[in-house]
Amino acid sequence: MVKALILITDGTEEMDTIAYDTLVRAGIDCTSAFVPKGLSPYGSSDTSPALAVCSRQVKILPDVTLDPLDAGPDKYDVLIIPGGMGGAVTMAGSTEVQNLVGAYYNHPEKRIIGMICAGILFILVDRIRGLWSICLQGSKVAITAKLPGQPITSHPSVQSEFPDYFDYKEQSVVVSDAVAGKATLVTSRGPGTAFPFAFTLVELLCGKAKRDEVVGPMIFPTGIGYPF
Amino acid sequence: MVKALILITDGTEEMDTIAYDTLVRAGIDCTSAFVPKGLSPYGSSDTSPALAVCSRQVKILPDVTLDPLDAGPDKYDVLIIPGGMGGAVTMAGSTEVQNLVGAYYNHPEKRIIGMICAGILFILVDRIRGLWSICLQGSKVAITAKLPGQPITSHPSVQSEFPDYFDYKEQSVVVSDAVAGKATLVTSRGPGTAFPFAFTLVELLCGKAKRDEVVGPMIFPTGIGYPF
């Protein structure tokens, strides 16, 4: 059974987590994992409750609290990082999560890393607020510097943050297999592209027929410009 | 300040609740209210926890448990009923919720009732499983029989349930002011139309300029067929 791990924390954009619902419709075994602020080397040491208060105050109870030792690419086929600036900054500031992203990226059995909206800031972690450049150098090398020319997209508000050696696209969803033997990167722009993002993940994980089966009953407007 | 009440219960389609996030972006004061199964005259008498386990197992903690005495149209401008068959059946089977819908429908200061996906079954309550025809006759009269020719839409899976005297539309969102002096009905089709549904509510409550302001940063795919 295909398995997906979706990270969530305080400040996560609730609409970006839509992938959970869509992936379940495709028969994928989904687990949402709360990322406590305490995991960050620079964050507060408070023991945040497992209940995530999202960016617009929707309160979601994740399935588990993130245990980095039980969240790796041996267990899951895809790692999904939603946006919401507050949540993305918390995740990007966590060495455990950074190491997790690196493990998925480098796993010999090709995995998928999905990032949407501000979640794409993960690959820019050294730039966020100027705080991380030294501490996270290792992650930076693993996640950023080894991805020259990698096609990506993100929320437009953070587009200017990307170095020139990224091949920045203004597409709803960008799938990149640019680096042989590494994870497939799936990046997307914002809440408005959350459905196409989820459908792209379903297609990659379960095939086009399954994607079409899932899309049908959801009744998208006719003429929709989603990249189907 | 504009205020919205969004009902939620076990089995609610999590994506239909997206309106919460979108309305908050528009500056609307949103409250999600859990509908316990115990409110149903035919439902079980268990005291369900306030945590709603949605249709695809996303767990959402609503802001409050529904108190019918504190949920009326004097307090809120709009009542929103999401889909998810399990949740819609629970709500439609609750006399308290039925009465609430009736109160919004008949309030002298014109209110809005938004229903999406299977949530539209509310106006068909006498037909659901054949159980409700006698008990809920009052609600049926208030909600169904007084709406001849009312334009509506719904999830296609329940379209055949609608009597001929409804003006059934296959549009993403249908706004009806067909009955003078009564609430505006906003109906929509399914998870795939959840964003247009929410934007229509924002436009009705806050105006077109606010809708455009909210839509912009959400980055919908170019060429999208949403009824903008």
Domains of chain A, by residue range, sit at 3-216
What chain A residue is nearest to B6 in terms of C-alpha separation?
A58
Predicted pLDDT at A149: 56
More confident residue, A118 or B201: B201
Provide mean pLDDT across the span A65-86. Answer: 93
Please state, for a pLDDT cut of 70, what percent of chain B lies above it: 79
B196/A55 touch (CB, cutoff 8 Å), yes or no:
no
Which chain B residues touch A60 with a CB distance below 8 Å?
58-61
A203 φ, ψ to 5°? -65, -45
Tell me what pLDDT residue A123 has. Answer: 62
- Tell me, what's the pLDDT at A225? 44
- List all residues 6 or more positions away from B79 whose beta carbon is below 8 Å from its beta carbon: B4, B5, B7, B73, B100, B101, B104, B111, B112, B113, B114
Instruction: Please write the tens of the pLDDT for every residue from B87-145.
Output: 888 887 787 888 888 889 889 999 999 999 887 766 654 444 333 333 333 333 334 43
Q: Rounded to an integer, what distance in angstroms lies between the CA atom of residue B35 and that of residue B94?
A: 9
Measured over the CA atoms of residue B63, residue B15, residue A63 and residue A34, the dihedral's sign is negative
Helix (H, G, I), strand (E, B) or coil at A117: helix
Amino acid at B163: P
Interface touch A57/B30, C-beta < 8 Å: yes
Our answer to whether residue B117 is catalytic in this structure is yes
Q: How are the residues of chain B apportioned to helix, strand and coil, as percentages rounded to the nearest 5?
A: 40, 20, 40
- What confidence score (pLDDT) does residue B133 get? 34
Nearest by CB to residue A219, choosing from B192, B195, B227, is B192
- Tens digits of per-residue pLDDT, A166-186? 888 998 899 999 878 889 999
Please name the fold of domain A3-216. Rossmann fold (3.40.50)
R_g over Cα of chain A: 16
Instruction: State the CB neighbour count (10 A cutoff) for residue B141.
Output: 12
Across A6-20, A50-64, B164-178, least confident range:
B164-178
Cα(B71)–Cα(B75) distance, integer angstroms: 7
Residue A104: Cβ-neighbour burial (10 angstroms; 0-12, 13-18, 19+): buried
Contacts for B30 with CB less than 8 Å, ≥ 6 apart? A57, B3, B4, B6, B20, B23, B24, B63
User: Does residue B12 contact residue B54 with C-beta atoms inside 8 Å?
Assistant: yes
Lowest-pLDDT range of A181-185, B48-52, B53-57: B48-52
Residue B149's pLDDT band (cuts 50, 70, 90): low
Q: What is the ipTM of this complex?
A: 0.84
Q: What is the pLDDT of residue A82?
A: 93
Of B54, B117, B135, B206, which residue is the catalytic one?
Answer: B117
Q: Which of A54, A107, A135, A155 is catalytic?
A: A155
pLDDT at B152 over 60: yes
> B 42-81 residues with CB below 8 A of A?
51, 54-63
In angstroms, the CA B215 to CA B208 distance is 10
pLDDT per position as a tens digit, B164-216 = 778 889 988 999 998 788 899 999 998 989 998 999 999 999 999 999 999 98
**For tokens 């954009």, what's the residue?**
A13
Count the Cβ atoms, other than its own, within 10 Å of residue B103: 18
- When pLDDT is cut at 50, 70 and 90, the band that residue A90 belongs to is confident
Least confident of A56-60, A90-94, B12-16: A90-94
Distance, CA of A182 to CA of A27 (rounded, Å): 25
* Residue A155 a catalytic site member: yes
| A192 interface with B at CB cutoff 8 Å | yes
pLDDT at A30 over 70: yes
- CA-to-CA separations, B3 to A57, A158, B6, B14, B82, in angstroms, rounded: 15, 32, 10, 21, 17
What per-residue confidence (pLDDT) applies to B135? Answer: 32
Which pLDDT score, from 0 to 100, does residue B31 have?
96
Q: How far apart are CA B183 and CA B150, in angstroms?
A: 12
Considering only the beta carbons, identify the residue of A30, A57, A189 that sits closest to B24: A57
CA distances from A77 to A74, A200, B22, B104 (A): 8, 14, 31, 47
pTM of the model: 0.86
Closest CA to B101 of B134, B76, B84, B83: B76
* B66 confidence band (pLDDT: 50, 70, 90): very high
Q: What is the reported pLDDT for A128?
A: 39
Q: Do B226 and A221 touch, CB atoms closer than 8 A?
A: yes
- The rounded mean pLDDT for chain B is 80
Count of other CB atoms within 10 angstroms of residue B36: 21
Per-residue model confidence (pLDDT) at position A59? 94
Per-residue pLDDT at B80 exceeds 60: yes
